[in-house]
Amino acid sequence: MKIRSLVFLAIALTMAPLGQTLLPDQSEEAVDKYFTKLSHAKPKYEKIRLFIHDVASGPNPSIVPVARANGTAKSKTQFGIVNVVDDRLTTGPEDKSREVGYVQGVYVSASKENVSLLVALNFVFTNKEYNGSTLSVLGRIAEFSDNREFPVLGGSGCFRLAQGIVVAKVHSADASTGNRIVECRFHFLHY
């Protein structure tokens, strides 16, 4: 009996993950249950600090222009150019920092007068804790403004009904390669 419970304990210990995956059940029934319980739920305030790695040149860029208008080349704001990104997302600014996912989306030059970009990004988590969860960000970058605040419009998995703000700041930029590391500080509520 004693040995048996020790064996069970040993199995339980070897199976226990270090960081538990928090992804909720994503079946339609479970989503329905989630909403019916929502009136009792308190919003959780979450703060997450992450770094995006833009690789603009080299054999394997993570940001690529995919389309432009006839007039883009002549436009002082590159009006009409569309860039697609699939950047690494890490917990620190270093190349070797722990990877927690990807940032996938588009940057579109959407102003004829002054440079301003439409930004639509999905933060896709692949680390143990948030594996399979996403945060969706939609916003604007105005070149001559220090305002780098973007709305967090929603999320999935662990971040359902996310609503908040991400404050982004260029951590470092290499003028010769165009590579950039951007710090993102998320502040949001979710249920």
Ligand X SMILES: *[C@@H]1O[C@H](CO)[C@@H](O)[C@H](O)[C@H]1NC(C)=O
Calpha distance 79→7 (Å, rounded): 66
Query: Closer CB to ligand X, residue 61 or residue 132?
Result: 132
Residue 6: C-alpha distances to residues 2, 10, 16, 17, 95 (Å): 6, 6, 15, 19, 43
Q: Which of 128, 151, 122 is nearest to 139 (CA)?
A: 151
Number of helices (H), then strands (E), in the chain:
2, 9
Among 128, 170, 172, 174, binds ligand X (CB under 6 A): 128
At position 143, the amino acid (one-letter code) is E
Q: Check residue 104 for interaction with ligand X (CB under 6 A).
A: no
Give the shortest CB-126-to-ligand X separation in angstroms. 6
Q: Which of 134, 130, 157, 123 is nearest to 19 (CA)?
A: 130
Among 77, 104, 131, 163, binds ligand X (CB under 6 A): 131
Q: Which stretch binds ligand X (CB under 6 A): 39-47, 80-88, 126-134, 177-185?
A: 126-134
Give the shortest CB-71-to-ligand X separation in angstroms. 8
Give the shortest CB-189-to-ligand X separation in angstroms. 25
Calpha distance 72→58 (Å, rounded): 24
- Interface map 68-87 toward ligand X (x if CB under 6 A): --x-----------------
Q: Check residue 114 for interaction with ligand X (CB under 6 A).
A: yes
Q: Are 183 and 93 in contact (CB under 8 A)?
A: yes
Q: Check residue 65 for interaction with ligand X (CB under 6 A).
A: no
Q: Check residue 144 for interaction with ligand X (CB under 6 A).
A: yes
Give the shortest CB-82-to-ligand X separation in angstroms. 15
Contacts with ligand X, residue ranges (CB under 6 A): 21, 70, 113-114, 126, 128, 131-132, 144
